[in-house]
Amino acid sequence: MTHIVILGSGFAALTAIRRLREQRLDADITVVSPRNELVYLPSLIWLPSGEKTSDDLRIPLADFFRRERVAWHVGSALQVLDGGRRVVTDHGELRNDYLIVATGGQYLRKLPGIEHALIPCEGIASAEAIRDRLAAMEGGTIAIGFASNPKEPGAVRGGPMFEFLFGIDTLLRRQGRRAKFKLVFFNPSKEPGQRLGPTAVQKMLARMQKLGIETHLGHKPVRFEAGKVVTEGGEFGADLILFMPGLTGPAWLDDSDLPRSEGGFVAADKHCLARGMDKVYVAGDIGSYPGPDWMAKQAHQADLQAEAVAKNIAADLRGEPANHGFNTELVCIVDSLDSGLLIYRSESRTFTSPHSRMLHWLKRKFEDRYLKAYR
């Protein structure tokens, strides 16, 4: 029987499983992943306020794997060899007829003094550390910023940093202690978050001004020190630094036979096929795909790529052309804990909504709905 091996059990991998099964293929599916759980990363922003707990964000996958007839190979991929047909993991080797690479990206940790900053998007432990640091602070300066991968500027995770910024502002106001804190937003660009579209940038900068959030824009960060952010345009004191560096491909790619992009990701074509390879597909944050420069490293985009991958594998198995592509779409609600801003971008349209309380609740509802498939 055809054997499909999927590396990872995040958004892209799980969508690929669902879409492959919808195609009613006669195939064995093996997932290689260190943990059989999905961490619902978009809700990390609600950990510092206690609106969510880590248990809310960890979705066990054992039942989902059983329902979808997926074998779980416990372990981490270390190498992809022999043109993609052989995967070496820390718990043995696997061969495959089709490979889907979906193990996500990693954050660049090159900035000197990065150990003085918390990287909020790294996962549950970081978001909980922010919660605990905030609770322990009696006042002071909180600096929040992000940067991109200089070799692949689209590899940036800015949206969630706006959410941490606005969320912390709301939290401190709720607690009646906002006046004791200075919030400073810093970014190398004068117009941070451009991929979200010019209107969104203007709206977010206007909101910062309205909320009394200071900005330090247009200066590249040079280093962090204990209690200090140093940029090319000057330095400022900070008792807590939250920083999101740019993204790159995971370290395990260095020992693999997979094609790389400038920024260190797996280079894929418009059908999500790893460039120059046969039956090796890529989906989600780990890939570098042709398309507009605002293409986001987002769960929504990962889902669209995974869907194209499943269709292409199904087409190939049926002897049809595997030429399915994916739409480039950016959809997000930038949440502020009590309200939100909806941003939508496609190749034909860009839309930014006004701020609305309803959008906060819509984001919460969306999570419930999205996770139903895995519960």
Ligand X SMILES: Cc1cc2nc3c(=O)[nH]c(=O)nc-3n(C[C@H](O)[C@H](O)[C@H](O)COP(=O)(O)OP(=O)(O)OC[C@H]3O[C@@H](n4cnc5c(N)ncnc54)[C@H](O)[C@@H]3O)c2cc1C
Footprint of ligand X (CB under 6 A): 7-13, 32-35, 41-42, 44-45, 76-77, 102-104, 121, 160, 250, 252, 284-286, 297-300, 302, 332
3-class SS shares of the chain: helix, strand, coil, % to 5: 35, 30, 35
Nearer to ligand X, 43 or 231 (CB): 43
Nearer to ligand X, 8 or 154 (CB): 8
Nearer to ligand X, 35 or 69 (CB): 35
339, 328 in Cβ contact below 8 A? no
H/E stretch holding 281? strand 280-282
Task: Report the nearest approach of ligand X to the CB of residue 15 (Å).
Answer: 8
Nearer to ligand X, 126 or 199 (CB): 126
**Which residue number is nearest to ligand X in terms of Cβ?**
10
Task: Report the nearest approach of ligand X to the CB of residue 199 (Å).
Answer: 18
148, 156 in Cβ contact below 8 A? yes
φ, ψ at 315 (rounded to 5°): -60, -45
Task: Report the nearest approach of ligand X to the CB of residue 152 (Å).
Answer: 15
Task: Report the nearest approach of ligand X to the CB of residue 140 (Å).
Answer: 23
Task: Report the nearest approach of ligand X to the CB of residue 164 (Å).
Answer: 8
Nearer to ligand X, 231 or 340 (CB): 340
Q: What contacts 8, CB < 8 A, 6 or more positions away? A: 31, 32, 33, 101, 102, 103, 104, 284, 286
**Structure tokens belonging to residue 25:** 């293929």
Nearer to ligand X, 102 or 118 (CB): 102
- Identify which of 327, 326, 308, 324 has the alpha carbon closest to the alpha carbon of residue 100: 308
In the chain, how long is the greatest CA-to-CA distance? Answer: 66
Task: Report the nearest approach of ligand X to the CB of residue 220 (Å).
Answer: 23
Distance, CA of 234 to CA of 20 (rounded, Å) = 52
